[in-house]
Homo-oligomer: A and B are copies of this chain.
Amino acid sequence: MKNKSFYTLGELAKLLDVQLLGNENIDIGRLATLKNAGQGDLSFLSNPRYVSQLSDCKASALIIHPDQADQSPCACLLTTNPYVTYARASHLFAPATEIVAAIHPTAVINPSATVAATASIGANVVIEEGASVGEGSSIGAGCYIGKQVSIGKHCRLYANVTIYHDVTIADNCVIHSAAVIGADGFGFAFDGKQSLKIAQLGSVEVGDNVEIGAGTTIDRGALDNTVIGTGVKIDNQVQIGHNCIIGDHTVICGCVAIAGSTVIGKFCMIGGAVGIVGHISIADKVLVSAMSLVSKPITKAGTYSSGTGLAESSEWKRNIVRFNQLDDMSKRLRELERITRSS
Protein backbone atom coordinates (compact mmCIF):
# COMPACT_ATOMS: atom_id res chain seq x y z
CA MET A 1 0.00 0.00 0.00
CA LYS A 2 1.26 3.45 -0.90
CA ASN A 3 0.51 5.71 2.03
CA LYS A 4 -0.45 9.35 1.90
CA SER A 5 1.80 11.81 3.63
CA PHE A 6 -1.12 13.23 5.60
CA TYR A 7 -4.82 12.69 6.28
CA THR A 8 -7.63 14.83 7.59
CA LEU A 9 -9.05 13.63 10.88
CA GLY A 10 -12.31 12.95 9.05
CA GLU A 11 -10.53 10.66 6.62
CA LEU A 12 -8.86 8.81 9.47
CA ALA A 13 -12.17 8.32 11.29
CA LYS A 14 -13.55 6.75 8.13
CA LEU A 15 -10.51 4.59 7.41
CA LEU A 16 -10.45 3.34 11.00
CA ASP A 17 -14.23 3.12 11.25
CA VAL A 18 -14.43 5.03 14.52
CA GLN A 19 -16.43 8.00 15.77
CA LEU A 20 -14.90 11.45 15.55
CA LEU A 21 -15.25 14.05 18.26
CA GLY A 22 -14.01 17.46 17.04
CA ASN A 23 -12.97 19.15 13.83
CA GLU A 24 -12.89 16.75 10.86
CA ASN A 25 -10.63 19.08 8.86
CA ILE A 26 -7.56 18.88 11.10
CA ASP A 27 -4.53 17.69 9.11
CA ILE A 28 -2.71 14.73 10.65
CA GLY A 29 0.75 13.87 9.33
CA ARG A 30 2.23 11.60 11.98
CA LEU A 31 1.56 9.22 14.85
CA ALA A 32 3.37 10.09 18.08
CA THR A 33 3.46 9.23 21.78
CA LEU A 34 1.46 11.34 24.24
CA LYS A 35 4.70 12.81 25.51
CA ASN A 36 6.26 13.73 22.17
CA ALA A 37 3.20 14.56 20.08
CA GLY A 38 2.87 18.08 18.68
CA GLN A 39 0.78 19.99 16.18
CA GLY A 40 -0.38 17.76 13.35
CA ASP A 41 0.22 14.58 15.32
CA LEU A 42 -2.24 11.85 16.28
CA SER A 43 -1.58 10.13 19.58
CA PHE A 44 -3.38 7.49 21.64
CA LEU A 45 -4.20 6.59 25.22
CA SER A 46 -4.45 2.90 25.96
CA ASN A 47 -2.47 2.34 29.15
CA PRO A 48 -4.39 3.94 32.05
CA ARG A 49 -1.19 4.88 33.82
CA TYR A 50 -0.55 7.53 31.19
CA VAL A 51 -3.83 9.40 31.86
CA SER A 52 -1.83 11.98 33.80
CA GLN A 53 0.01 12.90 30.58
CA LEU A 54 -3.24 13.97 28.90
CA SER A 55 -3.30 17.49 30.28
CA ASP A 56 0.13 18.32 28.86
CA CYS A 57 -0.40 16.56 25.56
CA LYS A 58 0.14 18.79 22.50
CA ALA A 59 -1.28 16.35 19.94
CA SER A 60 -3.88 17.57 17.45
CA ALA A 61 -5.98 14.46 18.04
CA LEU A 62 -6.16 11.39 20.24
CA ILE A 63 -7.34 7.81 19.84
CA ILE A 64 -9.12 7.30 23.13
CA HIS A 65 -11.84 5.33 24.92
CA PRO A 66 -15.20 7.17 25.03
CA ASP A 67 -15.12 7.05 28.85
CA GLN A 68 -11.96 9.14 28.92
CA ALA A 69 -12.80 11.53 26.10
CA ASP A 70 -13.83 14.26 28.52
CA GLN A 71 -10.22 14.42 29.73
CA SER A 72 -8.82 14.93 26.23
CA PRO A 73 -7.35 18.36 25.49
CA CYS A 74 -7.93 17.92 21.74
CA ALA A 75 -10.06 16.23 19.09
CA CYS A 76 -10.75 12.52 19.59
CA LEU A 77 -11.19 9.30 17.66
CA LEU A 78 -13.40 7.23 19.93
CA THR A 79 -12.92 3.47 20.22
CA THR A 80 -13.43 0.86 22.89
CA ASN A 81 -9.98 -0.58 22.17
CA PRO A 82 -7.57 2.31 21.56
CA TYR A 83 -4.55 0.02 21.29
CA VAL A 84 -6.12 -1.96 18.46
CA THR A 85 -7.15 1.23 16.70
CA TYR A 86 -3.61 2.57 17.11
CA ALA A 87 -2.29 -0.68 15.59
CA ARG A 88 -4.54 -0.22 12.60
CA ALA A 89 -3.66 3.47 12.28
CA SER A 90 0.07 2.71 12.39
CA HIS A 91 -0.09 1.09 8.98
CA LEU A 92 -1.57 4.24 7.46
CA PHE A 93 1.55 6.15 8.48
CA ALA A 94 4.12 3.50 7.60
CA PRO A 95 6.47 4.21 4.70
CA ALA A 96 5.26 2.79 1.43
CA THR A 97 5.99 -0.91 1.32
CA GLU A 98 4.65 -1.68 -2.12
CA ILE A 99 6.17 -4.84 -3.44
CA VAL A 100 7.70 -4.06 -6.81
CA ALA A 101 7.34 -7.22 -8.87
CA ALA A 102 10.86 -7.80 -10.10
CA ILE A 103 13.71 -10.24 -9.96
CA HIS A 104 17.06 -8.60 -9.33
CA PRO A 105 19.57 -9.56 -12.02
CA THR A 106 22.04 -10.83 -9.40
CA ALA A 107 19.54 -13.35 -7.97
CA VAL A 108 20.49 -16.99 -8.57
CA ILE A 109 17.29 -18.91 -9.25
CA ASN A 110 17.27 -22.56 -10.20
CA PRO A 111 15.30 -23.07 -13.44
CA SER A 112 13.04 -25.59 -11.69
CA ALA A 113 11.98 -23.05 -9.03
CA THR A 114 8.66 -21.22 -9.37
CA VAL A 115 8.47 -17.50 -8.68
CA ALA A 116 5.08 -15.80 -8.99
CA ALA A 117 4.93 -12.96 -11.48
CA THR A 118 3.94 -10.54 -8.73
CA ALA A 119 6.75 -11.53 -6.35
CA SER A 120 9.87 -9.48 -5.67
CA ILE A 121 13.28 -11.16 -5.46
CA GLY A 122 16.15 -9.06 -4.10
CA ALA A 123 19.82 -8.84 -4.97
CA ASN A 124 21.96 -11.93 -4.40
CA VAL A 125 19.01 -14.08 -3.40
CA VAL A 126 19.58 -17.80 -3.98
CA ILE A 127 16.56 -20.02 -4.73
CA GLU A 128 17.29 -23.71 -5.10
CA GLU A 129 15.63 -26.36 -7.22
CA GLY A 130 11.95 -27.03 -6.84
CA ALA A 131 11.35 -24.09 -4.49
CA SER A 132 8.39 -21.77 -4.94
CA VAL A 133 7.59 -18.19 -3.98
CA GLY A 134 3.93 -17.14 -4.03
CA GLU A 135 2.09 -14.08 -5.29
CA GLY A 136 3.03 -10.76 -3.84
CA SER A 137 5.80 -12.17 -1.69
CA SER A 138 9.06 -10.27 -1.24
CA ILE A 139 12.39 -12.00 -0.67
CA GLY A 140 15.04 -9.61 0.69
CA ALA A 141 18.61 -9.32 -0.52
CA GLY A 142 20.89 -12.19 0.37
CA CYS A 143 18.15 -14.62 1.43
CA TYR A 144 18.74 -18.31 0.85
CA ILE A 145 15.74 -20.46 -0.11
CA GLY A 146 16.63 -24.16 -0.07
CA LYS A 147 15.43 -27.00 -2.28
CA GLN A 148 11.70 -27.68 -2.39
CA VAL A 149 10.92 -24.83 0.00
CA SER A 150 7.41 -23.46 -0.39
CA ILE A 151 6.74 -19.82 0.47
CA GLY A 152 3.11 -18.71 0.22
CA LYS A 153 1.47 -15.48 -0.83
CA HIS A 154 2.19 -12.00 0.50
CA CYS A 155 5.10 -13.08 2.68
CA ARG A 156 7.95 -10.74 3.46
CA LEU A 157 11.43 -12.06 4.14
CA TYR A 158 13.86 -9.28 5.09
CA ALA A 159 17.51 -9.45 4.02
CA ASN A 160 19.75 -12.39 4.89
CA VAL A 161 17.14 -14.94 6.00
CA THR A 162 18.04 -18.62 5.57
CA ILE A 163 15.40 -21.27 4.84
CA TYR A 164 16.63 -24.87 4.66
CA HIS A 165 15.26 -27.46 2.21
CA ASP A 166 11.63 -28.66 2.32
CA VAL A 167 10.39 -26.01 4.77
CA THR A 168 6.88 -24.71 4.08
CA ILE A 169 5.82 -21.18 4.93
CA ALA A 170 2.15 -20.34 4.46
CA ASP A 171 0.65 -16.94 3.54
CA ASN A 172 1.17 -13.46 5.00
CA CYS A 173 4.26 -14.32 7.04
CA VAL A 174 7.01 -11.89 8.00
CA ILE A 175 10.52 -13.20 8.68
CA HIS A 176 13.28 -10.90 9.87
CA SER A 177 16.96 -10.87 9.04
CA ALA A 178 19.38 -13.56 10.20
CA ALA A 179 16.51 -15.90 11.08
CA VAL A 180 17.20 -19.55 10.22
CA ILE A 181 14.28 -21.90 9.58
CA GLY A 182 14.87 -25.60 9.20
CA ALA A 183 18.44 -26.16 10.43
CA ASP A 184 19.06 -29.61 11.84
CA GLY A 185 17.51 -30.45 15.16
CA PHE A 186 20.06 -31.19 17.87
CA GLY A 187 19.93 -34.97 17.87
CA PHE A 188 22.82 -37.25 18.76
CA ALA A 189 23.11 -40.77 20.13
CA PHE A 190 26.05 -41.42 22.43
CA ASP A 191 27.67 -44.77 21.65
CA GLY A 192 29.93 -44.77 24.71
CA LYS A 193 32.76 -43.04 22.90
CA GLN A 194 31.26 -40.24 20.88
CA SER A 195 28.02 -38.57 19.83
CA LEU A 196 26.61 -39.97 16.58
CA LYS A 197 24.58 -37.56 14.53
CA ILE A 198 20.95 -38.45 13.93
CA ALA A 199 19.87 -37.29 10.48
CA GLN A 200 16.99 -34.86 10.84
CA LEU A 201 14.43 -36.19 8.37
CA GLY A 202 11.48 -33.97 9.25
CA SER A 203 10.96 -30.37 8.23
CA VAL A 204 9.27 -27.19 9.50
CA GLU A 205 5.72 -26.06 8.74
CA VAL A 206 4.91 -22.41 9.39
CA GLY A 207 1.24 -21.37 9.35
CA ASP A 208 -0.46 -18.23 8.04
CA ASN A 209 0.15 -14.80 9.55
CA VAL A 210 3.24 -15.81 11.49
CA GLU A 211 5.95 -13.28 12.34
CA ILE A 212 9.47 -14.54 13.09
CA GLY A 213 12.02 -12.16 14.61
CA ALA A 214 15.61 -11.38 13.71
CA GLY A 215 18.10 -14.08 14.58
CA THR A 216 15.40 -16.57 15.56
CA THR A 217 16.08 -20.24 14.82
CA ILE A 218 13.46 -22.95 14.30
CA ASP A 219 14.88 -26.43 13.83
CA ARG A 220 13.57 -29.10 11.48
CA GLY A 221 12.08 -32.24 13.01
CA ALA A 222 13.89 -35.51 13.57
CA LEU A 223 11.15 -37.65 11.95
CA ASP A 224 7.94 -35.62 12.04
CA ASN A 225 7.81 -31.87 11.38
CA THR A 226 8.24 -28.93 13.71
CA VAL A 227 4.97 -26.96 13.49
CA ILE A 228 4.31 -23.25 14.04
CA GLY A 229 0.57 -22.54 14.20
CA THR A 230 -1.49 -19.81 12.55
CA GLY A 231 -1.00 -16.30 13.83
CA VAL A 232 1.96 -17.15 16.07
CA LYS A 233 4.23 -14.15 16.76
CA ILE A 234 7.86 -14.85 17.62
CA ASP A 235 10.29 -12.14 18.68
CA ASN A 236 14.05 -11.96 18.08
CA GLN A 237 16.62 -14.60 19.02
CA VAL A 238 14.10 -17.25 19.99
CA GLN A 239 15.24 -20.88 19.69
CA ILE A 240 12.60 -23.54 18.93
CA GLY A 241 13.91 -27.09 19.06
CA HIS A 242 13.01 -29.94 16.71
CA ASN A 243 9.48 -31.32 16.76
CA CYS A 244 8.01 -28.55 18.87
CA ILE A 245 4.41 -27.68 18.10
CA ILE A 246 3.42 -24.08 18.83
CA GLY A 247 -0.34 -23.52 19.07
CA ASP A 248 -2.22 -20.91 17.06
CA HIS A 249 -1.91 -17.27 18.11
CA THR A 250 0.67 -17.91 20.79
CA VAL A 251 3.11 -15.03 21.37
CA ILE A 252 6.77 -15.76 22.19
CA CYS A 253 8.92 -12.88 23.40
CA GLY A 254 12.61 -12.37 22.73
CA CYS A 255 15.37 -14.84 23.64
CA VAL A 256 13.03 -17.67 24.66
CA ALA A 257 14.63 -21.12 24.42
CA ILE A 258 12.31 -24.08 23.82
CA ALA A 259 13.85 -27.56 23.87
CA GLY A 260 12.74 -30.29 21.50
CA SER A 261 9.38 -32.08 21.23
CA THR A 262 7.54 -29.63 23.46
CA VAL A 263 3.92 -28.81 22.66
CA ILE A 264 2.65 -25.34 23.53
CA GLY A 265 -1.06 -24.52 23.48
CA LYS A 266 -2.99 -21.76 21.75
CA PHE A 267 -3.11 -18.13 22.88
CA CYS A 268 -0.16 -18.55 25.25
CA MET A 269 2.14 -15.68 26.10
CA ILE A 270 5.72 -16.73 26.76
CA GLY A 271 7.71 -13.92 28.41
CA GLY A 272 11.19 -12.85 27.37
CA ALA A 273 14.18 -15.13 28.01
CA VAL A 274 12.00 -17.96 29.32
CA GLY A 275 13.40 -21.48 29.08
CA ILE A 276 11.14 -24.46 28.41
CA VAL A 277 12.42 -28.00 28.79
CA GLY A 278 11.76 -30.65 26.17
CA HIS A 279 9.08 -33.32 25.82
CA ILE A 280 6.39 -31.51 27.84
CA SER A 281 2.98 -30.04 27.07
CA ILE A 282 1.69 -26.63 28.01
CA ALA A 283 -2.05 -25.90 28.05
CA ASP A 284 -3.83 -23.12 26.15
CA LYS A 285 -3.82 -19.57 27.53
CA VAL A 286 -0.79 -20.03 29.74
CA LEU A 287 1.29 -16.97 30.60
CA VAL A 288 4.90 -17.47 31.67
CA SER A 289 6.66 -14.49 33.22
CA ALA A 290 10.05 -13.29 32.00
CA MET A 291 13.08 -15.52 32.49
CA SER A 292 11.19 -18.35 34.18
CA LEU A 293 12.19 -21.96 33.56
CA VAL A 294 9.25 -24.19 32.66
CA SER A 295 10.61 -27.45 34.03
CA LYS A 296 7.42 -29.52 33.99
CA PRO A 297 4.14 -29.74 32.07
CA ILE A 298 1.52 -27.04 32.66
CA THR A 299 -1.95 -28.52 32.51
CA LYS A 300 -4.17 -25.52 33.09
CA ALA A 301 -4.41 -21.90 32.00
CA GLY A 302 -2.85 -19.38 34.35
CA THR A 303 0.28 -17.37 35.03
CA TYR A 304 3.50 -19.14 36.00
CA SER A 305 6.92 -18.02 37.21
CA SER A 306 10.19 -19.18 38.62
CA GLY A 307 13.32 -17.46 39.89
CA THR A 308 13.93 -14.99 42.69
CA GLY A 309 13.41 -11.26 42.89
CA LEU A 310 16.19 -8.76 42.30
CA ALA A 311 18.15 -7.51 45.32
CA GLU A 312 21.30 -5.63 46.10
CA SER A 313 24.08 -8.15 45.69
CA SER A 314 25.32 -7.89 49.29
CA GLU A 315 21.88 -8.78 50.64
CA TRP A 316 21.32 -11.36 47.89
CA LYS A 317 24.55 -13.17 48.77
CA ARG A 318 23.36 -13.68 52.34
CA ASN A 319 20.07 -15.06 51.12
CA ILE A 320 21.48 -17.50 48.57
CA VAL A 321 23.61 -18.99 51.33
CA ARG A 322 20.38 -19.61 53.21
CA PHE A 323 18.70 -20.97 50.08
CA ASN A 324 21.23 -23.78 50.09
CA GLN A 325 20.31 -24.46 53.75
CA LEU A 326 16.56 -24.42 53.15
CA ASP A 327 15.93 -28.11 53.55
CA ASP A 328 17.88 -28.07 56.79
CA MET A 329 15.97 -25.00 58.00
CA SER A 330 12.69 -26.70 57.21
CA LYS A 331 13.61 -29.74 59.27
CA ARG A 332 14.75 -27.61 62.19
CA LEU A 333 11.51 -25.67 62.06
CA ARG A 334 9.51 -28.90 62.21
CA GLU A 335 11.57 -30.11 65.15
CA LEU A 336 10.92 -26.85 67.01
CA GLU A 337 7.20 -27.21 66.33
CA ARG A 338 7.30 -30.75 67.71
CA ILE A 339 9.07 -29.62 70.87
CA THR A 340 6.82 -26.61 71.32
CA ARG A 341 3.66 -28.63 70.82
CA SER A 342 4.73 -31.35 73.21
CA SER A 343 5.78 -28.92 75.91
Q: Closest approach, in angstroms, between the C-beta of A4 and any C-beta of chain B?
A: 14
- What 0/1 pattern do residues 309 to 343 of A give for CB contact below 8 A with B? 11111111111111111110110110011011001
Main secondary structure on A side of the interface with B = loop
Of B144, B231, B318, the contact of A140 (CB 8 Å cutoff): B144
> Is B329 a contact partner of A330 (Cβ separation < 8 A)?
yes
Of B36, B126, B187, B201, the contact of A122 (CB 8 Å cutoff): B126
Q: Closest approach, in angstroms, between the C-beta of A245 and any C-beta of chain B?
A: 13
- Any B CB within 8 A of the CB of A25: no
- What 0/1 pattern do residues 191 to 209 of A give for CB contact below 8 A with B? 1011111110100000001
> Is B186 a contact partner of A231 (Cβ separation < 8 A)?
no
Given A31-B201, A144-B140: A322 touches B332 (CB 8 Å cut-off): no
In the complex, chain B residues whose CB is within 8 Å of the CB of A88:
196
Stretch of A12-20, A66-74, A216-224 on the interface side: A216-224
**Distance, CA A186 to CA B253, complexed state (A):** 8
In the complex, chain B residues whose CB is within 8 Å of the CB of A319:
323-327
List 10 tightest A-B contacts by C-beta distance, closest first.
A87-B189, A322-B326, A144-B159, A90-B199, A94-B199, A162-B177, A255-B257, A318-B327, A180-B214, A183-B214
> Is A183 a contact partner of B177 (Cβ separation < 8 A)?
yes
A residues near B, CB below 8 A?
A: 31-33, 36, 81, 83-84, 86-88, 90-91, 93-95, 104, 106, 108, 122-124, 126, 140-142, 144, 146, 158-160, 162, 164-165, 174, 176-180, 183-184, 186-191, 193-199, 201, 209, 211, 213-215, 217, 219, 222-224, 231, 233, 235-237, 239, 241, 249, 251, 253-255, 257, 259, 272-273, 275, 277, 287, 289-296, 298, 302-327, 329-330, 332-333, 336-337, 339-340, 343
Given A215-B180, A326-B323: A201 touches B126 (CB 8 Å cut-off): no
